[in-house]
Amino acid sequence: MQNKNNYAIIMAGGVGSRFWPSSRSNYPKQFIDILGVGKSLLQQTYERFLKNFLPENIYIVTNALYIGLVKDQLPGIDEQQILGEPMGKNTAACIAYACGKISKINTHGVCIVAPSDHLILDEPAFMEKVNQALEFAKKNRALVTLGIRPSRPDTGYGYIQYMDEHKDKNLFKVKTFTEKPSIEIAKTFLESGDFLWNAGIFVWSISSIKTAFKEHLPEQFTLFKEALESYFTPSEKDTIKEIYQQTRNISIDYGIMEKASNVFVIPSDFGWSDLGTWTSLYEISDKDAKENVAKGKNILFYDTSGCIVNNAGLTQGKIVVLNSVKDLIVIDTPDVLLICDKNKEQEVKEVATDIKIKFNEKYS
């Protein structure tokens, strides 16, 4: 039976610039069928939670510009459950907004906060960890995160170091958070065995996160406390706009998780990928004998290896041929063709910014 006190907050406001040129500022990654399964990443995330949470207990936090897209893709959701941010102010602000709105109707709420654009292959294993975290957060004044057991020394992820095991099995006290390390440090983390990838998935009670904001981000706590009276009223939009103009641009990791002493982590392995880059999509995709990935139609490889080509969404019968090349990212859209070395893909974000300046906003 679904618990009426359990809530899911889905963060869906990002631009996904590392998936440019498929992901654009007016139609970003979370609204795209990146995996080619007939559903966007947001739809998959929403349906994942819909199996385990009451429909009225699922909230979407997104940029106000994307409210129409959310409504189109999730036609069953109530408009009051879509929280439109007037501007991007990082994860602390969106979490303060969503948790504050939930507190207005249920002070006993316990919630999971999760990104809208991640891949989770083993959903039963995921929900097993989520339920463990929800139960622990309900009974303890704790901030819980799900950490992913690392499979390689990756410099693209943040790391969580854990220490003493709690009496609750497979739940540990967090010792440190480390943002994207160098490859040498990442290797030592992997060898030590007590580090996990930070997946950006959090679980806490409304009262626990409220206390954490009051202690570690007092200015933000005060601002959003002032907004409480406006929630679920016609003045909510204007109030939030005013608050967002004043609030800090800071992540929940920097603002609270790295400072709090009551943070716990559950080591997890449920087929997770943050799908942050084209290479991350390449890694989880089916490959041919030469390790090539084709996303779309009419794609041919000759003496080519380690490449990913995506022309999905193009309706014309263009043929894409790669001959005698390796380790390339090739993304073909109606108005942009990207060809990039896989080892240089971290530069895609900067390229997208440069294109926006040199040409037109529509290309970003």
pLDDT tens digits, 308-342: 999 886 666 789 999 999 999 999 988 899 999 99
CA quadruple 254, 203, 199, 20: dihedral sign: negative
Q: What's the confidence (pLDDT) of residue 167?
A: 76
Mean pLDDT across the chain: 92
Residue 17, pLDDT above cutoff 90: no
pLDDT band at 260 (very low <50, low <70, confident <90, very high): very high
Q: Which pLDDT band, with edges at 50, 70 and 90, does 66 fall under?
A: very high
Is 130's pLDDT higher than 70?
yes
- Per cent of the chain over pLDDT 70 is 99
Q: What is the pLDDT of residue 1?
A: 60
> What is the total residue count of the chain?
364
3-state DSSP assignment of residue 270: coil
What is residue 15's predicted lDDT score, i.e. its pLDDT? 85
- Integer Cα distance of 217 and 265 in angstroms: 22
Residue 355 pLDDT: 87
Identity at 296, one-letter amino acid code: G
Superfamily of segment(s) 6-273 = Spore Coat Polysaccharide Biosynthesis Protein SpsA; Chain A (3.90.550.10)
Dihedral sign from CA coordinates of 52, 54, 60, 66 = positive
Instruction: List pLDDT tens digits, range 280-304.
Output: 899 999 999 999 999 988 999 999 9
Per-residue model confidence (pLDDT) at position 134: 97
Side chain identity at residue 232, one-letter code? F
State the average pLDDT over residues 111-128. 96
Pick 183 or 324 by higher pLDDT.
324
pLDDT recorded at residue 315: 62
At 190, the pLDDT band (50, 70, 90 cuts) reads confident
- Return d(Cα 329, Cα 55) in angstroms, integer: 39
Query: Cβ(329)–Cβ(307) under 8 Å?
Result: yes
In this prediction, residue 108 carries a pLDDT of 96
- Cα→Cα distances 296→299, 314, 315, 341, Å: 7, 8, 10, 20
Domain definitions of the chain by residue range: 6-273, 278-363
Lowest-confidence segment of 40-54, 173-187, 262-276, 324-338 by average pLDDT: 173-187
**Predicted pLDDT at 4:** 95
